[in-house]
Amino acid sequence: MKKKYGDAIINGVKAGDFPPLPVDYGCRDSKNFRYHRKSGMKAEHLQMRQASLESVRCAADRADDKIKFTDDALKTVLGVPRVFLPLVLRGCVDWARENNVTLITEEHMKIIQDKRAKEKEKKSQKKS
């Protein structure tokens, strides 16, 4: 450890005595990893990767034991961030129960997406 940093620990740290290292390992959102350096927040762009059909199939199988998804239906949710995938699949399963559907197809997914888009539109109109 440099003498000036050791002295700062003993005598009290001032901004000029603090070593130039990250003081916070940061946080992650869907696009960036943000971390803090002495000079301010930095954003590091994350590589986006699509989930595999097998991993989405595994999550879909856990969502419900009676309601199943076709491969084409699951391909429509490949771009959903991993943390939101169970929520999306549960919403699809709830829709399927309401409509007495046991096998969700790509056409059903389009209906569900249209329904969700209309709900979002209503919310945005209420805020205006």
Q: pLDDT tens-digit profile of 16-29?
A: 776 666 555 555 56
Residues 94 and 72 occupy one common structural domain: yes
Residues 69 and 89 occupy one common structural domain: yes
What amino acid occupies position 69? F
118, pLDDT greater than 60: yes
Rounded mean pLDDT, 59-86: 90
Strand partners, 35: 42
Residues 23 and 82 occupy one common structural domain: no
Domain hosting residue 26, numbered range: 3-45
Residues 27 and 79 occupy one common structural domain: no
Looking at the structure of the chain, the number of domains it has is 2
Residues 36 and 77 occupy one common structural domain: no
* Percentage, residues of the chain above pLDDT 70: 70
Residue 29 lies in a domain: yes
Residue with tokens 């994350």: 46
Residue 75: how many other CB atoms lie within 10 Å: 15
pLDDT score for 81: 80
82, pLDDT greater than 70: yes
Residue with tokens 């930095």: 42
